[in-house]
């Protein structure tokens, strides 16, 4: 495996950054998770947009512009000979001292890892996932906006720990005032009274690229798909539920806190959206080829 560290492709063992990088010392940095399917990168522009927005929100000046970053991502995928992959570009604040001020970090850094990812076994996609709600609340936007995909994922990790301790693979984090925010690394959708609902991102969720694709797919299929605050009660009494994310794609959710959702099996609308999303990732227009057209493989 070759990892891109500040523009140099180096073997995995040599892919290292300084312990004085504030990305390591303080989680001061931002990242993305992107997928390539069959030699084409899915919605790269949207992911780059979010990466640069995250950087802007934490006042981190990226060491290269969007077009150059795009080229580096494609180069890293090609160098690893990957056609189906998960790509992780990261910006870090760069080397500083032991104080937390970012102003002493003169040179932000970046690295890009291209690898495979598999979060859940096939059976999860067939049979669904049991979710629980956990005590840890989603970060409040006024403290650290969940729209920023930052290197500080402790909020999500605490929820993941609580899920694991209770024997669940995944969890829902609630907002401070008791609404559903999202899962630890995925957005949540429910089908209730025939409408597809997902919490508005201002309530405390990442603006998911998969979430956006699913909203588009649903609207194309003439399904009412709206962003609306959701309570635990709404999920308990939903007909169907599923999570969305770049790594997880669409995962049917079949219970919450021990209450079966709908029939307790993945529902027809979820299955239709899973098929639609699969088609979008394989045949949709919004995909960037790894090699220019006409180039020999």
What are the catalytic residues? 149
Given a contact cutoff of 8 angstroms between Cβ atoms, the answer to whether 130 and 169 are in contact is yes
CA angle 53, 175, 161 (to 5 degrees): 90
The first and second tokens of residue 256, run together, are 């919450």
Q: CB of residue 66 vs ligand PMP: minimum separation in angstroms?
A: 17
- 3-state secondary structure (DSSP) of residue 38: coil
CA distance 30 to 33: 11
Tell me the pairing of strands 85-92 and 259-260.
Answer: unpaired
Q: How far is the CB of 205 from ligand PMP (least distance, A)?
A: 6
Give 169-200 as a DSSP string: SEEEEEPTTS-EEEESSSEEEEEETTEEEE--
287 near ligand PMP, rule: CB under 6 A: no
Selection from 161, 125, 84, 87 nearest residue 243 by Cα? 125
**What is the Cα–Cα distance from 294 to 140, expressed in whole angstroms?**
49
Contact track, ligand PMP, 182-221, x by CB under 6 A: x--xxx------------------x-xxxx----------
How far apart are the C-alpha atoms of 16 and 130, rounded to whole Å?
37
State the minimum distance, in angstroms, from the CB of residue 167 to ligand PMP.
22
Q: How far apart are CA 6 and CA 111, in angstroms?
A: 6
Nearer to ligand PMP, 40 or 211 (CB): 211
Question: From residue 133 to residue 172, what is the string marking binding to ligand PMP with x (rule CB under 6 A)?
Answer: -----------------------x----------------
Residues 11-50 that bind ligand PMP (CB under 6 A): 33
Contacts of 182 (CB under 8 A, 6+ apart): 138, 146, 172, 173, 188, 199, 204, 205, 206
Residue nearer to ligand PMP on the CB measure, 18 or 212:
212
Tracing tokens 């635990």 back to the chain, one arrives at 232
Closest CA to 30 of 175, 145, 187: 145
CB of 278 to ligand PMP, least distance (A): 15
Contact 32, 50 (CB under 8 A): yes
Q: Is the Cβ of residue 3 or residue 44 nearer to ligand PMP in the bound state?
A: 44
CB of 246 to ligand PMP, least distance (A): 3
Q: How far is the CB of 14 from ligand PMP (least distance, A)?
A: 27
Residue 73, interface with ligand PMP (CB under 6 A)?
A: no
**Interface residues with ligand PMP (CB under 6 A)?**
33, 156, 182, 185-187, 206, 208-211, 244-246
């Amino acid at each position: 495996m070759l990892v891109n560290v500040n523009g140099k492709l180096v073997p995995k063992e040599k892919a290292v950054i300084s312990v004085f990088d504030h990305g390591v010392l303080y989680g001061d940095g931002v990242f993305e998770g992107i997928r390539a399917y069959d030699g084409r990168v899915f919605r790269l522009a949207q992911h780059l947009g979010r990466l640069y927005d995250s950087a802007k929100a934490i006042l981190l000046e990226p060491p290269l512009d969007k077009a150059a970053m795009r080229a580096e991502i494609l180069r890293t995928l090609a160098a690893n000979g990957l056609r189906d992959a998960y790509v992780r570009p990261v910006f870090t604040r760069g080397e500083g001292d032991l104080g937390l001020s970012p102003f002493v970090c003169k040179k932000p850094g970046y690295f890009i890892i291209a690898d495979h990812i598999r979060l859940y076994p096939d059976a999860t996609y067939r049979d669904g996932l049991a979710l629980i709600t956990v005590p840890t609340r989603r970060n409040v936007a006024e403290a650290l906006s969940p729209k920023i995909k930052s290197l500080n994922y402790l909020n999500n990790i605490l929820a993941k720990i609580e899920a694991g301790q209770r024997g669940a693979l995944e969890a829902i984090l609630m907002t401070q005032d008791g609404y559903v925010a999202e899962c630890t690394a995925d957005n949540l959708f429910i089908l209730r009274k025939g409408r597809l609902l997902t919490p508005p991102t201002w309530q405390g969720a990442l603006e998911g690229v998969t979430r956006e694709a699913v909203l588009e797919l649903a609207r194309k299929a003439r399904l009412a798909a709206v962003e609306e605050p959701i309570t635990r009660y709404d999920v308990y009494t939903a007909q169907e539920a599923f999570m969305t994310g770049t790594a997880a794609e669409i995962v049917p959710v079949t219970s919450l806190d021990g209450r079966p959702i709908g029939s307790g099996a993945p529902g027809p609308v979820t299955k239709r959206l899973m098929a639609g999303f699969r088609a979008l990732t394989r045949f949709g227009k919004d995909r960037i080829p790894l090699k220019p057209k006409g180039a020999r493989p």
